[in-house]
Structure 1
């Protein structure tokens, strides 16, 4: 998937994924991506893993360092 397609799939802004790629996130909590020359692509399975890793029942159990 392109960055735009991946952002739509995750319900995020394209900018959010771009910033995550550029700056990373604490604890390396960002989805994996593939760089092919200048093209950036995301695999749906990697996005699903990232989404599952961020599951929480309540906001008090959410840990942004995961």
Structure 2
């Protein structure tokens, strides 16, 4: 890998939760409901790319309470109208 293209950094669920200032359980709920950041399964392990975590958190960026922002970071619960299967 060149200096201009560093290797991707992956975090475990506890590490990702700390990065996002969430509990590990909240991050697990986000996975269950499909409201969280993109993740990968490698063997039986769940890992998160650092850039995916940052991108997901950035969807909640606002400059004021009246700013609609560019996206929504939903709470860790089932979304209305979302089908389980």
TM-score (norm 1): 0.78
Count of residue pairs the alignment pairs up: 61
Q: Stretches of 4+ moved more than 6 A in 1?
A: none
Report the Cα distance in structure 2 between the residues aligned to 1:40 and 1:59, rounded to whole angstroms.
Answer: 34
TM-score (norm 2): 0.62
- Which residue of the partner structure matches residue 49 of structure 2? 43
Structure of greater Rg: 2
- Which residue of the partner structure matches residue 26 of structure 2? 16
- Which ranges in structure 1 are unaligned for 5 or more consecutive residues? none
Report the Cα distance in structure 1 between the residues aligned to 2:68 and 2:22, rounded to whole angstroms.
Answer: 18
Structural RMSD (CA): 1.7
Q: Which has the higher helix share?
A: 1
